[in-house]
Amino acid sequence: MRPRSTRALWAAFALAVGGVVSWAAQPIPVQFEGQMVLRARPQTAGHQLAVARIAQEVWNCRVGPGPIDIQVTPEGRAALDGLGVPYDVLVKDVPALLEAEQAQIVEARLQRDASFFTTYRTLAEIDAKLDALAAAAPTLASTFTIGNSFQARPIRGIRISAPDLAGNPRSARPAVLFNGTQHAREWISPATNMYIADSLVEGYGVDPRITTVLQTTEIIVIPVVNPDGYAFTWQSPGGNRLWRKNRRANAGGTIGVDLNRNWSFGWGGLGASTTPSSDTYRGPSPFSEPESAAMRDFISGEPRIRATIDFHSYSQLILSPWGNIPDLPPEAVLFDDLNAQLVASIASVNGLVYRAGPTYETIYPASGGALDWSYGARGLLGLSIELRDLGENGFILPADQIVPTGQENLAAALTLAEFVTPSLLYTLPDGVPEVVDTQIGATFRVSAVPGSRTRAANPVLHARVGLSGPFTPVAMSPQAGAVFAAALPAVACNGVIEYYVETPLFGGGVARFPEGAALFSSRGVGILAGYADNMESNSGWTVGAPGDAAIRGLWERAVPQATAAQPGADASDPGTQCWITGAAAGSSLGDNDVDGGSTTLTGPVFSALPALPTNVRETRLSYARWFSDNQGAAPNEDILTVSLSNDGGATWIPIEAVGEDAGVWVRRAFVIEDILSPTAAMRLRFVATDRQSGSIVEAGVDDVAVEVIGCEPTLDFDGDGDAGTDADIEAYFAVLGGAPCPTGTCASLDFDTDGDAGTDADIQAFFLAIGGG
């Protein structure tokens, strides 16, 4: 049954809450006069630091490479002009924008029948609205308190789920948590959370999608995690509309901790400050703040929670783990799938496209955040959404954007709730291995994240070699996160492995992957030929080429000495030698780096062909490389170019232009056929270039390898692992007649290995082999 409308109840509550009627516009703080918001684009590390010093506030909390949104005085803008730092004007007049916002709030309060979402609401109004929702639908919604803030304000929330159904009690349903306002000035965050809660209550029994979601999931909404800070942004007089942190009194007289840098997972890393006056101050210890600690305790005490969204503003982003490190999480494939669904659901409402990806690379490094803790410490699908806009108004988003922002994020909320309702959320971190090496085998990995059910035991791989016969269970070993791994069984070249995964569930039953009777399949292949060089001796590499102009830091084969820009060891284990640009550390960082131009390292000729005509599937090239250019007075300006030749070095095709500073040995792999045709005259070339005076450039190369992957012609023509049978003869002639090739490559018709497939000579060779010849 549809609950009673909350409008009448809301009106009654509104009249009873003093803050609703008596609130008055706060004076614009004097320190905002004449200020504007600029999007600066510093080009050097020195300019990045200068921009941070010039800023009155850094709106996007980013100091480092990339655009920085800063609030500045007229003098600050002039200083940027003097430095030559390019910028765009986002907000011409901060006080004018604040005055317009306050005027809209006052005007909206004069409208007696105005909707809750016609304007931004105080903390008291939000609490009243929560009570109104619960009163309007007592069988659907109930309020709760998770704890108190630093200044003893309650942190309140609401649970929303359909009444118990036969075989489907509320207490057994998976839960999804939406929370907001860890950062006080992000007013669109509590408005969006409240829009989601209101729409769910109003839509139950009316909207089929909302009804289904509430019958299968419990939705939990905590709209204001930081009630002290949020109240301070409304306080008149003495408040600050652009306040970010909580209201902790720090030693030294400063106020506030950034709650979204105070969670324990990754606490104290990049993107968080140790300075109490900073907007990103992480606090004296993890969970030092009552607000973040209350959220931790609440989530830890709710085992049915499967996913969280922490709403923020601004930038129109969907953020996933990790924020504290650049690595991808174990369930990266799962997050990619979920992120894509959320992007599509948001875009389907108003056509607005949010950008999605891991926090670290999508917006900036941020350690000690809620989403990393939710995923890393609790195993939940931890997400954050940065709401409207792209910076045109930033935190001072006009009130006419509340409803469209709420609409598109309601769609995202429903999509997330639907995403967690399957019993388990399976993904393949590495995909399905198309081929399995006959000598070293292959590891199959699967991620099994709890959806509506919880694992009773680890997943089990069920596999068989061939296309018939029983499946053998293989235990899967747990790895990081919810990832499990098992070795696929050994298989001969062109043989087939079929397999699936089952996971026992609490309460009985199993979750199968893939569903139904579908199977995963991989085919055996071998290494037909290869080339490897670990640089422990010189196998024919040469240094120098026409046009090289570097005066220092030339390539040499040596044991590298560690500096801030250069590794202290090679990439091989065991091993010590590699090719490096100036191995000696010297007395200063720039003594032996590449200076004055390019230095070229060219490898010897190698063959990427098998010894005999065979069924080559692909030819793989791999190597380890080091590159550093983020040190010195002109960082991030230089390049390492990697090229490949198939004509002995007469012509070259670039395969990499490396400009990033990884600070580690990076291993890269390519399929040669994707770049050019393999020949017996392949060469590899590395060119390290110093393009900017004052930069520090170091490069290294190690562990070059080539593998020719495939199978020699085989009598197991139907690929079932049993060679020379009647079924193989039938399969062979079926392919001769035009049927699909069962082994996946019709090169297997070339049984006399003369390069011409399907001839009379091949048929004779095939029967000769079957007869034992």
* Sheet hosting strand 542-543, strand order edge to edge: 542-543, 598-602, 683-689, 639-645, 653-658
Positive or negative torsion for Cα 757, 760, 763, 768: negative
Give residue 508's region: left, alpha or beta (phi > 0; psi -120 to 50). left
Query: What does DSSP say about strands 218-222 and 317-320: parallel, antiparallel, or unpaired?
Result: unpaired
**3-state SS of 453-491?**
CCECCCCEEEEEECCCCCCEEEECEECCCCEEEEECCCC
User: How far is the C-alpha of 581 from the C-alpha of 554, rounded, in Å?
Assistant: 5
User: How far is the C-alpha of 213 from the C-alpha of 160, rounded, in Å?
Assistant: 10
Among the listed residues 643, 541, 627, the one whose alpha carbon sits nearest the alpha carbon of residue 581: 627
Sole residue written with tokens 């010849």: 773
- The structure tokens listed for 142 are 């109930």
What is the distance, to the nearest Å, from the Cα of residue 602 to the centroid of all Cα atoms in its chain?
36
Residues 6+ apart with CB under 8 A from 726: none
Residue positions counted in the chain: 773
State the catalytic residues: 386
List strand residue ranges (DSSP E) for 596-731, in order: 598-602, 615-632, 639-645, 653-658, 666-671, 683-689, 695-711
Residues 6+ apart with CB under 8 A from 662: 626, 627
Helix (H) or strand (E) holding 141: strand 141-148
In the 8-state DSSP scheme, what is residue 602?
A: E
User: How far is the C-alpha of 315 from the C-alpha of 309, rounded, in Å?
Assistant: 16
Alpha-carbon torsion angle 261, 264, 265, 266, nearest 10: 60
What is the distance between the terminal CA atoms of the chain, rounded to a whole angstrom?
A: 80
User: How far is the C-alpha of 514 from the C-alpha of 280, rounded, in Å?
Assistant: 44
User: For 43-161, where are the alpha helices, taking DSSP H only?
Assistant: 45-54, 74-83, 94-109, 123-136
User: How far is the C-alpha of 283 from the C-alpha of 64, rounded, in Å?
Assistant: 22
Please list the helix, strand and coil fractions of the chain in percent, rounded to the nearest 5, in that order: 25, 30, 45
User: How far is the C-alpha of 744 from the C-alpha of 771, rounded, in Å?
Assistant: 25
DSSP 371-403: HHHHHHTT--EEEEEEES-SSSSTTS--GGGHH
Angle at 574 between CA 569 and CA 577, to 5 degrees: 45
In the 8-state DSSP scheme, what is residue 603?
A: P
Among the listed residues 694, 691, 712, the one whose alpha carbon sits nearest the alpha carbon of residue 634: 694
Per the CB < 8 A criterion, the answer to whether 360 and 321 are in contact is no
Give whole-number Cα distances, 57 to 67, 116, 278, 280, 557, in Å. 14, 31, 10, 11, 49
